[in-house]
Structure 1
Amino acid sequence: MGPVSSLIAGLILLGTEVSAAAVPPESGFAAVPEPAHQAALYDGPIIFDVIRKGKKIGEHVTRFEPADDGLLVVNDLDLKVKVLFITAFKLDYHSEAVWDESGLKLLEAKVKQGRKRRVLEGLRDGDIFSWTTPKGESLSADNPETLYPTDHWHVGVVDQHQVLNTLTGAMDDVNIRPVQWESVPTGTGPRRALKYQYEGDLDNQVWYDEAGRWVGLQFKGKDGSTVRYVCRQCGKDG
């Protein structure tokens, strides 16, 4: 996407086109909260409207639920693009991840695009997180405490140089650099947020507010159009 990262090679990105101030020397966030503390910042689900060419084409919802062994994070994305009243593109994305104090513990992501179905499944065993890609490949990482899927809700991802692409199952190499502070639209009014640029295997922009809450995403679709996530609910400002 996504998430959700560079969804469908770039069908989704949120953005804001508002004024900005220079990035402070200490750009970024001094402390990376544990998953449960990060989730508590939102005080409920995160809800984005997905906008393309001025029209809403879908909705992305991230929900947080307690789990016996940690925090359950559920992502749902529904997209539908119509051309002359005919559905030209439709995508349904659903993922469930369990996090604990040691990081990512379990992950399952399902993508339905037309007649195509893709599934990613992963599980941590000791200090190793292993997963099977939609193509049936087996991959693993020995850093579950800093392994972030491409669902953006946790600000800790901005310090990473690799992310787990939940659409392809690949470990994408990225440079995530702070660009500038901007004012982004949210359901509770404009909010000051720091824009980050993804470079490398993914090319998109993500915004986090001063508390470290995800408030925006944007990228180019295959047709060159800009697709944006506009925050309807992403925690109260302040």
Structure 2
Amino acid sequence: MIDRRLLLAGGLAALPGLTLAATPPSRRLAFHVLRNGARIGEHLMSFAGDPASPTVTTDVRMAVKLGPVPVFRYRHHAVERWTGGRFASLETTTDSNGKAERVSARRTDTGVVIETAKGRITGPAGARPFTHWNPEVFTGPLFNPQEGKLLKVTTRKVGATQWSVRGEAEIDDWYDEVGVWTALKGKLKDGSTLEYRRA
């Protein structure tokens, strides 16, 4: 379990590179996104480059409708780079129901510099984006790739294939025996249930 004080203090800054999750044989992951059991969108990821130094591109599209009328739309695009098993950089753009957000993060010798429209912060050198595909990130500090803020959460491994995240986020992620991401279940701010199922 990761203590919140450890998260904020960045006590894992000196850790060496991670052993990254296995790259899917197809070099892509595709999920159907469901809210309270109803399909609302898709989450697509593609992997390029060496498995130890991948570039991971993510595209998420969601729309919640009231009858035939869309009441919420969400679009998210991210390009995430790792080098030698270590997080290197992340660039994201998000449109959350008309609210535009942009995040730029990069690892430096002194920490992970995260820039948003609200300004710049420097997180611990061991901070990693909470992008779900790599279960090894749960052993260190996490930051939100959409908002660019450090997450105040605790993480716990449940059995051999599940990680549980609690605090500012309430999410469970599942992986197969070689570490490929297979499913997600979480609770949204309005109390509804979000699920990812492999397409």
User: TM class, shorter-chain normalised?
Assistant: 0.7 to 0.9
RMSD: 2.1
Report the more deviating stretch, 44-53 or 219-228: 219-228
The answer to whether the aligner puts 1:154 opposite 2:134 as a matched pair is: yes
SS at match of 2:129: coil
The answer to whether the aligner puts 1:217 opposite 2:196 as a matched pair is: no
- State the alpha-carbon separation in 2 of the partners of residues 128 and 46 from structure 1: 30
The aligned counterpart of 1:66 is: 49
Instruction: Measure how far apart 1:153 and its partner are.
Output: 0.7
Is the Cα–Cα contact under 8 Å of residues 165 and 172 in structure 1 kept in the other structure? yes
Report the more deviating stretch, 79-88 or 209-218: 209-218
With the length of structure 2 as denominator, give the TM-score of the two structures.
Answer: 0.82
Task: Write the deviation string for residues 94-125 of structure 1: whole angstroms up to 9, x where unpaired.
Answer: 01111101612221111102321100012233
Instruction: Measure how far apart 1:129 and its partner are.
Output: 2.4
The aligned counterpart of 2:173 is: 206
The aligned counterpart of 2:155 is: 176
Q: Please, which runs of 5 or more residues in structure 2 have no aligned partner? A: 1-17
Stretches of 4+ aligned residues off by more than 6 angstroms: none
The answer to whether the aligner puts 1:92 opposite 2:75 as a matched pair is: yes
With the length of structure 1 as denominator, give the TM-score of the two structures.
Answer: 0.69
Instruction: Measure how far apart 1:127 and its partner are.
Output: 4.8
Q: Please, which runs of 5 or more residues in structure 1 have no aligned partner? A: 1-31, 182-193, 233-238
Structure 1 residues 176 and 91: CA distance shift in structure 2, 3 A = same
The aligned counterpart of 2:11 is: none
- State the alpha-carbon separation in 1 of the partners of residues 186 and 156 from structure 2: 15
Is the Cα–Cα contact under 8 Å of residues 39 and 64 in structure 1 kept in the other structure? no
SS at match of 2:152: strand
The aligned counterpart of 1:236 is: none
Instruction: Measure how far apart 1:158 and its partner are.
Output: 2.4
Instruction: Measure how far apart 1:39 and its partner are.
Output: 4.7
The aligned counterpart of 1:164 is: 143
How many residues align structurally? 181
The aligned counterpart of 1:33 is: 19
Greater RCO, CA 8 A, separation 6+: 1
AA at the equivalent of 1:141: G
The answer to whether the aligner puts 1:137 opposite 2:137 as a matched pair is: no
SS at match of 1:156: helix
- State the alpha-carbon separation in 2 of the partners of residues 84 and 141 from structure 1: 43
Is the Cα–Cα contact under 8 Å of residues 149 and 164 in structure 1 kept in the other structure? yes
The aligned counterpart of 1:26 is: none
SS at match of 2:136: helix
